[in-house]
Every structure is written in C-alpha cells, then in structure tokens.
C-alpha cells in the first residue's frame, strides 16, 4: 500500500512541475489530483488482476489501506468531486465552447475517478477483513462474507461486492456473516448514498447552467 501511495504522490508532483504556469489554481489542483488518483488506481488494479486467493490470504494485512486511510481517501475524493463540479460552474460561465469542453472533461475525469477510487479502496479493505485471521492457514476457510457456490473469492469478487454497495447502497447475492463487516458495509452504504446524491444534485446544476 505504501509503495502505491508513494508512486501516486511522485506522479502528482511531476505533473505539478510540468503544468503550464498560466493554468489557474483550480485547474492545477484538479490536474494534480487526477494524476495521483489515476496512478494509484492503475497500480492497485494491476495488483488485483495478478493476485490469487492464496496470495491474498498471505498478504491481506500488508495490502490493506487501514480504516484511517480509508476515511481520509474517501473524504478527499468526495471533496475533489464537489470541487470539480464547483470548478466547472465557475470556470466555464459565459466561456466559449473551446474553453468549456476541456474543463468539462477534466471535471468528469475527476468525478468518475474519485468514485472508482472510493469503492476500490473499500474492496481492498473487505478483502483484508475477510482474510485477516487466516494469513498463516491457507487451508482454512476465511469468513465474514458468504459467496455463492462457496467459492474462494479473489479481488474481482470483492470489487463486485464493493461496487454493488456503491451503486445501490445494499448488498446483492453475497451475504454478510460477521459483525465487523456489517458495520463496515453500513458505513460504506451511508457514505455512498451521500456521495452519489451530492454528485447528482450538483451535476444537475451544471447542466442547468450550461443550457442557460
């Protein structure tokens, strides 16, 4: 986890140095955030694609982001998304289409990327909670979530579980069987509801502003 964070910070700093001086402060903030966010997502998803259940069980503790980091990233991502929408409303008001489109693309990338980041982080933490008590017992069945057909879940299964909560604020065919994961999924559901509601509400303001 630490290596991915360091990588994303380095990428963000490089982008900050390379940005033109005539960019506004708000544009620079979004560009730097997007660069770090995309690099973190790319590194995390690369890990997820390659990881197998046995590897996940062994490395769950080291790959977990931790509750404090989760809260920090979720808060930052939420603020970045709201800032992106406010940025669009401010920077594009009365501007030509040639200026509007690049700003709109930047804001959309920020919002979608931040949304993906939040639920990817939660997926990593669900995997940690599932496997944390079985890191040295590969033959042992881990607990906390009951997957259909009694499969041994990989990161794709945890991504599925996380993004279903992120989109619907409820679980689907995966049953929660532990108190700690019920509490975590409750927090995830509530945060997702307010996050999605804020984005939809402010996006409507953008559309209304662009049509005036």
pLDDT for 56-90, tens place per residue? 777 666 665 566 676 677 777 777 777 777 777 67
Euclidean distance between CA atoms 117 and 123, whole angstroms: 10
Structure tokens at 183: 């509490």
pLDDT on residue 72: 77
Share of the chain above pLDDT 90, in %: 17
% of the chain with per-residue pLDDT over 70: 81
| C-alpha gyration radius of the chain | 19
CA distance 212 to 198: 22
Q: At what angle do helices 2-18 and 25-50 cross, to 10 degrees?
A: 150
Q: Are 166 and 132 in contact (CB under 8 A)?
A: no
């Amino acid at each position: 986890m630490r290596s991915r964070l360091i990588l994303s910070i380095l990428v963000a700093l490089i982008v900050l140095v390379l940005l033109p001086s005539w960019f506004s402060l708000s544009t620079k903030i979004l560009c730097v955030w997007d660069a770090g966010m995309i690099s973190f997502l790319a590194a995390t998803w690369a890990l997820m694609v390659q990881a197998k259940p046995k590897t996940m069980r062994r490395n769950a503790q080291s790959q977990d982001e931790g509750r404090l980091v989760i809260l920090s990233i979720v808060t930052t991502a939420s603020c970045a998304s709201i800032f992106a929408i406010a940025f669009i409303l401010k920077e594009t008001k009365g501007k030509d289409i040639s200026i509007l489109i690049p700003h709109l693309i930047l804001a959309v990338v920020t919002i979608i990327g931040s949304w993906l980041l939040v639920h990817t982080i939660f997926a990593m933490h669900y995997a940690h909670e599932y496997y944390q008590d079985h890191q040295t017992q590969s033959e042992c069945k881990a607990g906390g979530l009951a997957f259909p057909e009694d499969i041994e879940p990989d990161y794709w299964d945890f991504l599925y579980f996380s993004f279903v909560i992120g989109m619907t604020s409820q679980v689907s065919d995966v049953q929660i069987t532990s108190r700690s994961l019920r509490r975590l999924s409750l927090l995830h559901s509530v945060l997702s509801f307010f996050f999605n509601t804020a984005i939809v509400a402010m996006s409507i303001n953008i559309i209304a502003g662009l049509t005036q």
